């Protein structure tokens, strides 16, 4: 997801505002940046490849009350200055930035070429200012021209544009987030709240199919299709700026791992009536489907075991990208539970559309209030993890698992037992996350960081944790890691094991422990360097990372040393754990 930020108002440091604000979105891992400032002389565009963190806002000190900026995560066209946003209209009066994909850009481009437009980039975005310009040439005002151009775009996008002559800032969203910050000195429009949080915490959410336009003094929301005005309530963001900043941690990822001392308790703090309503909806449902992507999908896989082991309830789990194949089974009495930290993941939103097209109800378990997923769902539970800014999902994942574990307890009418377990688990995590433990993990990371391959095995609810362990280690350290069910080793993967291959065995203190020890022994017999993550040491372990015995919450405590190991491997292998290559914090394209 690209970073988008614009300002319009009384302040005259618009360029500085948008540059500094974009830096607060930098954690998403971008490859280029660009800024448009409106001055008496016209619109000044500065853009380049590289990170916005290398750009000084002092270079944008010209008097400017209307500005927009963008950090790009390349989808169409390589990482070049020409492909960076903003893109200008041919007459230089309209500047545009964009997130998402204009699916019909190729045919629009051909039409524009017949009208004499030439293209300087490989992006789909470049058609946007030219389309607006064409509409204005037929006499339409900037707002009308913008809206008519949007009606010709197909796909999921967020577009922000400014017009020098009218001094207006306009945005449209269809599938990609945009939020308005309502300040005392003007309006801020951004793809995420941290961009303007130091200026205001009063927000208004733009919904799909809506446009917002402001001249810096007033703001109007409209329906894209009809142009009719829409009213929006103002919402106060409860996060503090400090919560959204790194504090004295070297990276957001480490801060967010440590946040888990408190975030499990926050996840447990749910409205009891709401949880019981959701439990009843699950009981009544003809088929419950748990759906998410990446790490959130692994949380869903763990929850399948929670529902089975804790409350004897069957649920279906699948990756959101695969859900479309299930539509044959969906009936109005089906229930779809979607799990998403950002609440903006395209595949999750698409799965929701599939379920709703069949009349099924949707429960969203999200971290970001007001996100597209949250606002499209019939029920919403928030994991209350606070802002998760590192690309690698850590506290959000344990928050997701915690909420689903709570629902499993509510299903067997033991909600209080579930809350007690989670609060106790939070305390156990607090004890576990001490400097000595982190140091121990850093040492282990030092011992294995030069290896090319690493394998992780788990059984039962630790099988999803083995898969999640692989995601964590892959995405921040770029080491090849793979997770397997322990029982699957002898059906193929054990051929991969050579003397010294680092292997991690995830165990609890439960009925599958002995099976897992057998599997781990098979690895050891082939010379693996065996790292055990378990409540108890076993003689076959070369290294042992102790975890508390957390009963049905065991996967929640097990994944935490893995998160730290992944972080340490990244740092010791010279990678930036907060901004891993090729990845974005929220995947808003399919
Ligand atoms: C996890 O570390 C990754 N960043 C990724 O797998 C992520 O979990 C996935 O893209 C889903 O994101 P969401 O929770 O915001 O929907």
Q: How do residues 31-89 score in pLDDT, each as one tens digit?
A: 899 999 999 889 999 999 988 888 999 999 999 999 999 998 777 788 889 999 999 99
For ligand 1, whether the C-beta of 553 sits within 6 Å is no
Of residues 254, 241, 253, the one with CA closest to residue 193: 241
Place of tokens 């690209």: 2
Distance separating alpha carbons of residues 438 and 449, to the nearest angstrom: 16
Q: How many CB atoms are closer than 10 A to CB 231?
A: 6
What does the longest C-alpha to C-alpha distance in the chain come to?
81
Distance separating alpha carbons of residues 14 and 485, to the nearest angstrom: 54
Distance separating alpha carbons of residues 102 and 76, to the nearest angstrom: 10
Which mutation among 175, 291, 292, 295 tests ligand 1's pocket best, with the greatest number of atoms within 8 A of CB?
295
Which mutation among 252, 257, 293, 372 tests ligand 1's pocket best, with the greatest number of atoms within 8 A of CB?
293
CB 317 within 8 A of CB 302: no
Which mutation among 345, 373, 389 tests ligand 1's pocket best, with the greatest number of atoms within 8 A of CB?
345
What does each C-alpha distance from 296 to 57, 150, 241, 394, 547 come to in angstroms?
A: 36, 32, 26, 10, 22
Q: How far is the CA of 106 from the centre of ligand 1 (A)?
A: 30
DSSP string, 201-246: -EEEEPPTTEEEEE-SS-EEEEETTT--EE----EE----HHHHS-
The CATH code belonging to domain 435-577 is 3.40.50.10490
Print burial letters for 463-502: b (CB count within 10 Å at least 16), e (below 16). Answer: bbbbbbbbbbbbbbbbbebbbbbbeebeeebbeebeeebb
Tell me if residue 2 is catalytic: yes
Distance separating alpha carbons of residues 392 and 396, to the nearest angstrom: 10
By the 10 Å C-beta count (0-12 exposed, 13-18 middle, 19+ buried), 114 is classed as exposed
- Long-range contact set of residues 270-278: C-beta below 8 Å, sequence gap at least 24: 270/381, 270/403, 270/406, 272/415, 274/379, 274/381, 275/381, 275/406, 275/407, 275/410, 275/415, 276/410, 276/415, 277/379, 278/363, 278/379, 278/381, 278/407, 278/410
According to the model, what pLDDT value does residue 57 have?
Answer: 92
Q: Whose CA is nearest to atom 8 of ligand 1?
A: 295
The atom number, within ligand 1, closest to the CA of 396 reads 14
**Nearest-10 crossing angle of helices 260-268, 395-411:** 30
Q: How far is the CA of 471 from the centre of ligand 1 (A)?
A: 10
Tell me if residue 585 is catalytic: yes
CATH 3.40.50.10490 placement within the chain: 246-433, 435-577
For ligand 1, whether the C-beta of 348 sits within 6 Å is yes
What does each C-alpha distance from 424 to 275, 427, 428, 554 come to in angstroms?
A: 20, 5, 6, 12
Q: What is the pLDDT of residues 250-263, one digit of tens each?
A: 899 999 999 998 89
DSSP string, 111-128: HHHHTT----SS-STTHH
* Per-residue model confidence as pLDDT tens for the chain (590 residues): 678 999 999 999 999 999 999 988 765 557 899 999 999 889 999 999 988 888 999 999 999 999 999 998 777 788 889 999 999 999 999 999 998 889 899 999 999 999 999 999 999 999 999 999 999 999 999 999 999 999 999 988 899 999 999 999 999 998 788 999 999 999 999 998 889 999 999 999 998 899 999 999 999 999 999 999 999 989 888 777 767 677 778 899 999 999 998 899 999 999 999 999 999 999 999 999 999 999 999 999 999 999 999 999 999 999 999 998 888 999 999 999 999 999 999 999 999 999 999 999 999 999 998 889 999 999 999 999 988 989 999 999 999 999 999 999 999 999 999 999 999 999 899 889 988 899 999 999 999 999 999 999 999 999 999 999 999 999 999 999 999 999 999 999 999 999 999 999 999 999 999 999 999 999 999 999 999 999 999 999 999 999 999 999 999 999 999 999 999 999 999 999 998 988 878 887 77
For ligand 1, whether the C-beta of 393 sits within 6 Å is yes
Pairing mode of beta strands 66-72, 42-49: unpaired
Helix (H), strand (E) at residue 376: helix 372-376
Distance separating alpha carbons of residues 492 and 496, to the nearest angstrom: 8
Q: How far is the CA of 399 from the centre of ligand 1 (A)?
A: 13
Of residues 551, 278, 256, 224, the one with CA closest to residue 417: 551
Q: How far is the CA of 119 from the centre of ligand 1 (A)?
A: 35
CB 298 within 8 A of CB 506: no
Quote the pTM value.
0.76
Of residues 1, 3, 176, 175, the one with CA closest to residue 75: 1
According to the model, what pLDDT value does residue 588 have?
Answer: 76
Q: Tell me, rounded to whole angstroms, the distance of Cα 102 from its chain centroid.
A: 21
The CA-based angle 330-331-333, given to 5 degrees, is 120
What does each C-alpha distance from 458 to 124, 144, 302, 405 come to in angstroms?
A: 44, 58, 12, 19
The reply to whether omega before 86 is within 30° of 0 (cis) is: yes
For ligand 1, whether the C-beta of 365 sits within 6 Å is no
For ligand 1, whether the C-beta of 390 sits within 6 Å is no
Which mutation among 341, 367, 374, 562 tests ligand 1's pocket best, with the greatest number of atoms within 8 A of CB?
341
Task: Write down the catalytic residue from 361, 546, 585, 590.
Answer: 585
The atom number, within ligand 1, closest to the CA of 348 reads 16
Which listed CATH number (3.40.50.300, 3.40.50.620, 1.20.120.420, 3.40.50.10490) goes with 246-433?
Answer: 3.40.50.10490
According to the model, what pLDDT value does residue 101 have?
Answer: 85
Q: How many CB atoms are closer than 10 A to CB 512?
A: 18
CATH 3.60.20.10 placement within the chain: 3-237
By the 10 Å C-beta count (0-12 exposed, 13-18 middle, 19+ buried), 67 is classed as buried
Enumerate helices (H) and strands (E) in the chain, giving the number of each. 17, 25
For ligand 1, whether the C-beta of 475 sits within 6 Å is yes
Place of tokens 């200026």: 199
Distance separating alpha carbons of residues 457 and 466, to the nearest angstrom: 5
CATH topology of domain 3-237: 3.60.20
Pairing mode of beta strands 543-546, 529-534: parallel
Q: How far is the CA of 448 from the centre of ligand 1 (A)?
A: 26
The atom number, within ligand 1, closest to the CA of 393 reads 2
According to the model, what pLDDT value does residue 182 have?
Answer: 98
Token digits of residue 427: 């305390």
Helix (H), strand (E) at residue 256: helix 252-258
Q: Tell me, rounded to whole angstroms, the distance of Cα 164 from its chain centroid.
A: 34
The atom number, within ligand 1, closest to the CA of 295 reads 8
By the 10 Å C-beta count (0-12 exposed, 13-18 middle, 19+ buried), 356 is classed as middle
For ligand 1, whether the C-beta of 295 sits within 6 Å is yes
According to the model, what pLDDT value does residue 30 have?
Answer: 74
According to the model, what pLDDT value does residue 77 have?
Answer: 80
How many CA atoms are closer than 13 Å to the CA of 14, on its beta-carbon side? 30
Print burial letters for 295-317: b (CB count within 10 Å at least 16), e (below 16). Answer: bbbbbbbbbbbbbeebbebebbb
């Amino acid at each position: 997801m690209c970073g988008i930020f614009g300002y319009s108002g009384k302040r005259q440091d618009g360029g500085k505002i948008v540059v500094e604000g974009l830096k607060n979105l930098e954690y998403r891992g971008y490859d280029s940046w660009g800024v448009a400032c409106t001055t008496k002389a016209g619109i000044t565009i500065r853009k380049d490849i590289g990170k916005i963190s290398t750009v000084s806002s002092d270079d944008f000190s010209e008097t400017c009350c209307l500005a927009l900026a963008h950090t790009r995560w390349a989808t169409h066209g390589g990482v070049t200055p020409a492909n960076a946003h903003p893109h200008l209209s041919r007459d230089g009066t309209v500047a545009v930035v964009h997130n998402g994909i204009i699916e019909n850009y190729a045919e629009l481009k051909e039409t524009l070429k017949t009208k004499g437009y030439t293209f300087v980039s490989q992006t789909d975005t470049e058609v946007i200012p030219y389309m607006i310009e064409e509409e204005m040439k037929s006499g339409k005002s900037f707002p009308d021209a913008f809206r008519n151009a949007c009606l010709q775009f197909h796909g999921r996008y967020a577009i922000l544009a400014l017009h020098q002559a009218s001094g207006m800032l306009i945005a449209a969203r269809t599938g990609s987030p945009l939020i308005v910050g309502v300040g005392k000195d003007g309006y801020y429009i951004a793809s995420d709240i941290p961009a303007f949080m130091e200026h205001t915490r009063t927000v208004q959410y733009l919904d799909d199919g809506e446009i917002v336009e402001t001249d810096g003094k007033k703001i109007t929301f409209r329906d894209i299709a009809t142009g009719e005005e829409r009213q929006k309530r103002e919402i106060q963001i409860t996060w503090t700026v400090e919560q959204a900043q790194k504090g004295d941690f070297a990276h957001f990822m480490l801060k967010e791992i440590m946040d888990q001392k408190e975030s499990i308790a926050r996840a447990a703090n749910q409205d009891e009536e709401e949880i019981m309503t959701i439990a009843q909806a699950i009981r009544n449902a003809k088929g419950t489907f748990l759906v998410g992507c990446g790490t959130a999908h692994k949380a869903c896989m763990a929850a399948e075991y929670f529902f089975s082991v804790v409350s004897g309830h069957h649920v279906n789990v699948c990756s959101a990208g695969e859900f479309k194949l299930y539509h044959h089974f969906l009936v109005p009495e089906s229930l779809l539970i979607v799990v998403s930290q950002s609440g903006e993941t395209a595949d999750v939103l698409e799965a929701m559309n599939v379920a709703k097209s069949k009349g099924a109800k949707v429960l969203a378990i999200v971290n970001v209030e007001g996100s597209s997923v949250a606002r499209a769902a019939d029920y919403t539970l928030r994991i209350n993890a606070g802002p998760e800014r590192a690309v690698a999902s850590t506290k959000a994942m344990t928050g997701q698992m915690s909420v689903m574990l709570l629902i499993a307890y509510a299903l067997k009418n033991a909600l209080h037992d579930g809350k007690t377990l989670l609060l106790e688990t939070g305390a156990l995590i607090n004890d576990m996350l001490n400097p000595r433990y982190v140091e121990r993990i850093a040492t282990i990371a030092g011992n294995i960081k030069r290896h090319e391959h690493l394998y992780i095995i788990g059984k039962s609810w630790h099988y999803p944790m083995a898969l999640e362990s692989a995601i964590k280690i892959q995405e921040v350290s770029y080491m090849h890691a793979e997770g397997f069910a322990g029982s699957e080793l002898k059906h193929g993967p054990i051929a991969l094991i050579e003397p010294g291959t680092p292997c991690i065995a995830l165990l609890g203190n439960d009925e599958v422990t002995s099976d897992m020890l057998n599997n781990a022994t098979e690895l050891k017999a082939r010379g693996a360097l065996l790292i055990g993550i378990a409540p108890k040491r076993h003689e076959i372990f070369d290294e042992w990372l102790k975890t508390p015995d957390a009963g049905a919450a065991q996967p929640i405590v097990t994944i935490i040393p893995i998160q730290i190991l992944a972080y340490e491997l990244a740092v010791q292998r010279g990678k930036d754990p907060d901004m891993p290559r090729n990845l974005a914090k929220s995947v808003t394209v399919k």
